[in-house]
Amino acid sequence: MADNKKNPNDVPDTGHEWDGIRELENEPPRWWTNALYLSGLLVLVYFILYPSLPLINDSTKGLLGWTQINEYKENLAKVQEKRAPFEEKLAAMTAEEILADPEMRNYAVGSSKVLYGDNCAACHGTGGIPAAGSGYPILADDDWLYGGDVNTIVATLAQGRQGMMMSHAKTLKPEEVDGLVKFVMNAAEGNATEAGWKLFNEKGCVGCHGADGKGIQQLGSANLTDQIWRFSGEEAEIRHTILHGVNDPSDPQTRIAVMPSWNEKLAVKLEALQWEEEPEYDGTETERLTETEIKKLAVYVHQFGGGETLE
């Protein structure tokens, strides 16, 4: 490199000048030149050792035969090998037994984070708290439409849920709708009037929501006496629900609230166990999640903080 590179007055330039800045003809530092040549050599070595050049249907394999997918499979095999004893033990346990065993409960919760994120978080949100106004149930509170013990959560995951509230747009008079809207808003605050309860009973609301308005878990009906809203506690939204119902096929404006089944085969099995019968399968049952994954997710959801305990 040039000895006089630090004295710009003694170094020839290219004749180019911008705003008083001359472009000199100094050679680059030797370390920089050597690094440039070395990088070219490293590129050549990489081309030889690793897959590099695309071909028509494939690519060059390289002397090492390394691929990202093979590395992923190798790492996955190591993880599965460590998990295997726990997974085998889980498969033979009920969700209640998993919940009662601290070691297995911790494993189920820890190994379900990705499972929940992939399959549940899109609706129920991270940590079981969905976006406000989305209409999806909160999983981290104590309000359960069908029940929050771990066995019920297993059944919910397996068979899915699709409650139904009929549309009342054609059966209620405008003043009756107004009265029921006011009743629901008052009941949520704990100050429903006698006239409101009378209308509630006369119009048949008691049949689904119970004599105390707290809902019936066997039906999945909402508790009207708390301030937890499936859709919204706004007056206009309550009116819409009363008028058009939920999952009512006869009303195009009805609210749609459906949780899909994640393991129809397990749902059939659970139904048969309830009646102490042998399950009968028709061969069309879907299994989007395995039975073990269902149990793990049930424990995971139960541990959000709102899970009920069996008496």
Residues making up the annotated binding site for heme c are 120, 123-124, 165, 205, 208-209, 259
> Taking Cα atoms as reference points, which of 265, 247, 267, 256 lies closest to residue 157?
267
Q: Report how far apart, in Å, the C-alpha atoms of 174 and of each of 41, 126, 271 are.
A: 83, 40, 42
Place of tokens 């030149």: 33
> Taking Cα atoms as reference points, which of 217, 94, 102 lies closest to residue 148?
217
d(CA 303, CA 294): 14
Other CB atoms within 10 A of residue 216 CB: 16
Cβ contacts of residue 7 below 8 Å, gap of 6+? Answer: none
- Residues in binding site: 120, 123-124, 165, 205, 208-209, 259
d(CA 245, CA 300): 32
d(CA 224, CA 233): 10
